[in-house]
């Protein structure tokens, strides 16, 4: 009895019982697909958030009103953050003082407000950011079309704006926005540029929906002296901790210590990653459960399909099949079903991840494929072969008698 | 002697009770013999046939095939014996479901390592010989009981075995189909094949030249012994 013959018998057995084979494969497909997909979502979130902070620019320090981090290391409460915004004591003078500190390349203010922004008959309610021309470099937000506003635009309080890429699309659809006039808070603004796409959303800031205008212009039209955030660019990474100390000292002259927070921008990533770690753990738990459930499904269908074939095994033995040949037949059958089902599961997970990616970040990892594929293939093969092995050791008569 | 069973016992344990399905049974069968084993239900006929055909192992006793002891053969050697030396016809036909008549008949040849083309050719010939030349592709669901049993006989004969065993081969058939099956066995016997069959019907047993009667795991009469005595 040669291998080729046994492979042929196994394939024949798979095709002879199409529905049984499909059902078996379905267990593997769902098990593998669910695990890979769940892990892809957890992983996608992490990749997404990390990417968000990369896009905020390197070596930057953020200064915001109120206490961002609680004393326990996590984020402060919602109430304290809300009161921080309404009691915001950060002013433009602070920006000027901070920019004088040595080792600091630039300190730029950001003011944030909401306003209607319209082009012809299209009106959207969006966030408006008033900031300095340096924002382009510090926050790594290049104008993809046209240009960012200049110092003279700011000094002159010019009515000019740079639109986020989504906002530009919403207002202008396919028309080139450069040089067109939009109305912000009822006033006419000339569109200088469109910022390159940054991606975002999911609770984080959606930069692509913002309209950027010069800081001075913002103060003029909104008559708001509060600075929402100060972004500081350090000269080098090594100096950052010392810079933070100096900034705290400088702000401390005028403000109470709970009225402002100073932190390395990437530091917030660590805290977010902590929160995300819990989420990923939860998703991992669900993935593990579906792996177990999928495994039990595979196990069950394999056990049933092999047990109902005890008579077939008895007959084959009566006609001269050795236990080894029976075992090999079932090993090949289970392997083919498990591997083929696993491959379909992987392909399906990839496709679904592509679809999900339109709404939510999902990144399929090699690790999840290996894990899901490995576990279900192992379960499929073990539970396809173990009962067959038991049956192959019965005498032909005992096997034939089983019902 | 082709096949000799010496002091064969087979005990089944069910719960606390031991069932002596066979108790110290001895029997010899010569080349070309046509034997019918008879007896009441539960007398041990099937058990005897299964042990004689290497489908099951005796609890004690020895089996000689052409003078060679085989009761201590390994699983693989037993499989070889079943494949080459015996053909077995079951009362319940036992064809593989969803599998064509040809493939069913060719199955023993698969395990004998006969190349695929030759297997198909031989299975076709054999099916024609049992009168099913027009049913080659039918599965068991598309065959009558009598036709299924003829496929089973073709399967039992395909590897040209030394002995054909049949356990109540007509038990699940009407009398006409049963007669057809018995006619086929008669023809085989005339060609010199050794046949051992189990039946509890006297009419069927009359086809055989030698009749053995069992009761409670013992042989109580053997027509061959009687002839010797005469
Ligand atoms: N697997 C088994 N486990 C327990 N007892 C068994 C088993 N197989 C057979 N027996 C018992 O062994 C005895 C002989 O059984 P066997 O099947 O050989 O009888 P039989 O002569 O073929 O009967 P029938 O004419 O009804 O087929 C019976 O008492 C039966 O109950
Ligand atoms: Mg019986």
Q: Indicate if ligand 1 lies below 6 Å from the C-beta of B39.
A: yes
d(CA A296, CA B187): 54
- Gap between the Cα atoms of A43 and A269, Å rounded: 15
| The pLDDT of residue A167 is above 60 | yes
Indicate the average pLDDT of chain A: 84
pLDDT, residue A153, reads 92
Nearest CA to ligand 1 atom 31: B42
Phi, psi angles (nearest 5°) of residue A341: -60, -40
State which H helix or E strand residue A392 sits in.
helix A366-393
What sign results for the dihedral spanned by CA atoms A295, A297, A303, A305?
A: negative
For ligand 1, is residue B12 a contact (CB within 6 Å)? yes
| Average pLDDT, integer, range A72-76 | 60
> pLDDT (tens digit, 9 = 90+) per residue, B185-227?
999 999 999 999 999 999 999 999 999 999 999 999 998 876 6
Q: What is the pLDDT averaged over residues A226-230?
A: 90
Structure tokens at A163: 């639109």
A312 chain-B contacts, CB cut-off 8 A: 96
pLDDT, tens digit (0-9, with 9 covering 90-100), for B124-167: 999 999 999 999 999 999 999 999 999 999 999 999 999 999 99
- What does the alpha-carbon distance between residue B210 and residue A93 come to, in Å, rounded to a whole number? 122
Q: Mean pLDDT throughout A328-355? A: 90
Cα gap A130→A337, rounded to integer Å: 61
Q: What architecture is domain B32-57+75-224?
A: 3-Layer(aba) Sandwich (3.40)
Torsion of CA A112, A118, A124, A126, to 10 degrees: -10
Distance CA A195, CA A166 (A): 9
ipTM: 0.95
Query: How much is the pLDDT for A200?
Result: 58
**Ligand 1 neighbour B92 (Cβ under 6 A):** no
Residue % of chain A over a pLDDT of 70 = 91
Burial of A179 (0-12, 13-18, 19+ CB in 10 A): exposed
Collapsing DSSP to helix, strand or coil, A123 comes out as strand
Which residues on chain A are in Cβ contact (under 8 Å) with B158? none
The average pLDDT across A258-262 equals 87
Give the residue from B56, B93, B96 with the most A CB atoms within 10 Å of its CB, the best one to mutate: B96
Please give the Cα distance from A264 to B168 (Å, whole number): 90
Nearest chain A Cα to B107, which residue?
A319
| Beta-strand runs (E) in A49-186 | 60-65, 104-119, 122-131, 143-146, 160-163, 181-184
Q: Residue B96 and residue A317: Cβ atoms within 8 Å?
A: no
Q: Give the pLDDT of residue A172.
A: 92
At A77, is the pLDDT very low, low, confident or very high (cuts 50, 70, 90)? low
Q: How far apart are alpha carbons A328 and A389 in whole angstroms? A: 9
Q: Which ligand is nearest to the CA of B44?
A: 1
- What is the helix (H) or strand (E) element at residue B215, kind and residue range? strand B210-215
Residues B76-121 have pLDDT tens digits of 999 999 999 999 999 999 999 889 999 999 999 999 999 999 999 9
CA dist., res. B174 & res. B159, Å (int): 28
| Cα–Cα distance measured from residue B44 to residue B75, given in angstroms and rounded to the nearest whole number | 24
**Measured on CA atoms in the order A40, A46, A48, A51, is the torsion positive or negative?**
negative
Segment A349-366 mean pLDDT: 88
- What pLDDT does A75 receive? 64
Residue A202 has pLDDT above 60, yes or no: no
pLDDT at A52: 66
Across the range A111-133, mean pLDDT stands at: 91
Residue B230 reports pLDDT greater than 60: no
pLDDT at position A363: 86
Q: What is the DSSP secondary-structure string of B131-191?
A: T-TT-TT--GGGS-HHHHHHHHHHHHHTT--SEEEEESTTTTS-HHHHHHHHHHHHHHHHT
- Rounded average pLDDT over A265-273: 74
Can you give the residue ranges of every domain in chain A? 3-50+272-401, 108-228
Q: B36 near B212, Cβ under 8 Å? A: yes
pLDDT number for residue A53 = 66
pLDDT at A40: 86
Q: Are A188 and A136 in contact (CB under 8 A)?
A: no
- A401 — contact with chain B (CB < 8 Å)? no
A158 touches A148 (CB < 8 A): no
Confidence of residue A362 (pLDDT cuts 50, 70, 90): confident
Pair of tokens at residue A384: 């396809």
Distance A304 CA to ligand 2 centre (A): 29
Q: Is B170 in the pocket of ligand 1 (CB under 6 A)?
A: no
Query: What's the gap between Cα A76 and its chain centre?
Result: 24
- Tell me, in angstroms, the distance from the centre of ligand 1 to residue B60's CA: 17
Backbone angles phi, psi at A180, to 5 degrees: -75, 165
pLDDT, tens only, B3-37: 999 999 999 999 999 999 999 999 999 999 999 99
- Give the Cα separation of A48 and A89 in Å (integer): 32
Percent of chain A with pLDDT over 90: 29
All residues at 6 or more sequence positions from A45 whose CB lies less than 8 Å from its CB, including other chains: A202, A276, A279, A280, A361
A215: which residues sit within 8 A by CB, 6+ positions away? A92, A108, A109, A111, A130, A131, A132, A154
Supply the DSSP symbol for A175. S
Of A1, A320, A395, the CB nearest to B56: A395
**B141 in Cβ contact with B151 (< 8 Å):** no
Task: For residues A46-52, give the mean pLDDT.
Answer: 73
- Taking the centre of ligand 1 as the mean of its atom positions, its distance from the CA of residue B43, in whole angstroms, is 7
The pTM of this model reads 0.71
In this predicted structure, what is the pLDDT of residue A392? 87
| pLDDT, tens only, A134-146 | 888 877 777 888 9
CA of A85 to the centre of ligand 2 (A): 92
pLDDT tens figures, B112-125? 999 999 999 999 99
Q: What is the pLDDT of residue A42?
A: 81
- Could you tell me the two tokens for A145? 């079309």
Instruction: Report CB contact under 8 Å: B84, A5.
Output: no
Which residues lie at CB < 5 A from ion ligand 2? B 46
Per-residue model confidence as pLDDT tens digits over A318-332: 999 999 999 988 888
**pLDDT top residue among A303 and B161:** B161
Sheet holding B3-14, edge to edge: B17-29, B3-14, B60-65, B68-69
> Residue A264 has which token pair?
């390395």
Higher-pLDDT residue of A187 and A69 is: A187
| CB within 8 Å of A362: residues ≥ 6 apart | A37, A40, A41, A43, A44, A353, A356
Interface test with A, best of B12, B13, B51, B55 (most A CBs within 10 A): B55
Sign of CA dihedral B118, B122, B125, B127: negative
Pairwise CA distance, residues B195 & B193, whole Å: 6
Residue A203 pLDDT more than 70? no
Using alpha carbons, select from A60, A143, A67 the residue that is nearest to residue A108. A60
């Amino acid at each position: 009895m040669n291998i080729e013959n046994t492979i042929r018998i196994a394939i024949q057995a798979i095709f002879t019982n199409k529905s049984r084979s499909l059902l078996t494969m379905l267990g593997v497909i769902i098990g593998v697909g669910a695990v890979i997909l769940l892990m892809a979502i957890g992983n996608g979130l992490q990749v997404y958030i990390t990417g968000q902070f990369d896009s905020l620019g390197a070596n930057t320090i953020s200064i915001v009103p109120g206490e961002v981090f609680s004393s326990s290391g996590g984020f402060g409460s919602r109430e304290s953050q809300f009161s921080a915004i309404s009691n915001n004591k950060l002013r433009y003078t602070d920006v000027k003082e901070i920019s004088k500190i040595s080792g600091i390349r630039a300190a730029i203010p950001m003011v944030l407000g909401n306003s209607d922004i319209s082009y012809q008959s299209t009106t959207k309610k969006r966030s408006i950011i008033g900031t300095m021309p340096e924002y382009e470099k510090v926050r790594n937000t290049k104008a993809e079309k046209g240009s960012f506003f200049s110092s003279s635009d700011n000094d002159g309080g010019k009515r000019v704006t740079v639109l986020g890429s989504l906002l530009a699309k919403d207002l202008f659809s396919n028309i080139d926005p450069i040089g067109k006039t939009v109305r912000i808070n009822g006033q006419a603004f000339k569109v200088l540029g469109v910022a390159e796409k940054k991606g975002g959303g999911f609770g984080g800031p959606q930069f692509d929906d913002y309209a950027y205008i010069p800081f001075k212009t913002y103060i003029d039209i909104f008559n708001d002296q509060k600075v929402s955030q100060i972004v500081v660019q350090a000269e080098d990474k090594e100096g950052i901790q010392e810079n933070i100390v100096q900034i705290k000292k400088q702000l401390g002259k005028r403000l109470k210590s709970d009225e402002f927070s100073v932190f390395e921008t990437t530091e917030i990533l660590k805290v977010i990653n902590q929160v995300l770690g819990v989420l990923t753990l939860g998703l991992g738990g669900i993935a593990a459960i579906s792996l177990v459930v999928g495994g039990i499904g595979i196990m069950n269908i394999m056990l049933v399909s092999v047990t109902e074939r005890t008579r077939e095994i008895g007959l084959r033995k009566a006609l001269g099949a050795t236990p080894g040949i029976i075992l090999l037949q079932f090993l090949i059958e289970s392997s083919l079903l498990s591997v083929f089902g696993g491959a379909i599961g992987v392909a399906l997970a990839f496709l679904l991840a592509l679809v999900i990616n339109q709404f939510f970040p999902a990144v399929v990892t090699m690790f999840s494929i290996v894990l899901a594929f490995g576990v279900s293939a192992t379960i499929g093969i073990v539970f396809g072969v173990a009962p067959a092995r038991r049956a192959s050791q019965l005498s032909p008569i005992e096997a034939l008698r089983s019902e | 002697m082709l096949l000799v069973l010496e002091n064969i016992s087979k005990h089944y344990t069910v719960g606390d009770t031991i069932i002596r399905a066979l108790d110290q049974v001895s029997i010899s069968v010569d080349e070309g013999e046509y034997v019918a084993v008879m007896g009441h239900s539960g007398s041990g006929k099937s058990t005897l046939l299964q042990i004689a055909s290497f489908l099951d192992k005796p609890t004690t006793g020895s089996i000689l095939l052409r003078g060679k002891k085989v009761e201590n053969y390994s699983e693989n050697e037993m499989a070889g014996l079943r494949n080459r030396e015996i053909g077995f016809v079951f009362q319940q036909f036992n064809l593989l479901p969803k599998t064509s008549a040809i493939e069913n008949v060719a199955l023993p040849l698969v395990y004998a390592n006969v190349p695929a083309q030759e297997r198909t050719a031989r299975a076709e010939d054999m099916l024609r010989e049992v009168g099913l030349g027009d049913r080659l592709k039918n599965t068991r669901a598309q065959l009558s009981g009598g036709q299924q049993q003829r496929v089973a006989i073709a399967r039992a004969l395909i590897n040209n075995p030394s002995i054909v065993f049949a356990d109540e081969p007509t038990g699940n058939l009407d009398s006409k189909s049963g007669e057809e099956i018995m006619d086929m066995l008669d023809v085989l016997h005339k060609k010199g094949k050794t046949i051992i069959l189990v039946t509890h019907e006297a009419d069927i047993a009359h086809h055989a030249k030698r009749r053995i009667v069992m009761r409670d795991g013992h042989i109580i009469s053997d027509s061959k012994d009687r002839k010797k005595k005469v």
